[in-house]
């Protein structure tokens, strides 16, 4: 399997995780926003070709 196909799958999986997490939500707690931030960081890292390894160091977490 080529890296491009794998990368696309990682991006799609991360995107789907965000979609599932936000589905039907109208209000957000701080913890829920932090989780959304974490999921977005994974998605952005995947889009930039860094895979799933980028799960920390995002906004709101130290």
* CA distances in angstroms from 9 to 5, 44, 49, listed in the order given: 6, 13, 11
At 3 the pLDDT is 57
Q: What is the pLDDT of residues 8-45, one digit of tens each?
A: 888 999 999 999 999 998 899 999 999 999 999 999 99
pLDDT value at residue 7: 82
- Is the entire prediction scored with pTM above 0.85? no
Q: Is the pLDDT of residue 48 over 80?
A: yes
Q: Which of 27, 29, 17 is nearest to 60 (CA)?
A: 29
Place of tokens 């696309």: 8
pLDDT on residue 22 = 94
Specify the pLDDT at position 60.
44
């Amino acid at each position: 399997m080529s890296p491009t196909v794998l990368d696309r799958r990682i991006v799609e999986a991360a995107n789907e995780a965000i979609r599932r997490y936000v589905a039907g939500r109208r209000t957000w707690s701080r913890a829920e926003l932090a989780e959304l931030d974490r999921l977005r960081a994974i998605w952005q890292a995947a889009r930039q070709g860094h895979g799933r390894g980028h799960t920390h160091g995002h906004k709101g977490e130290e």
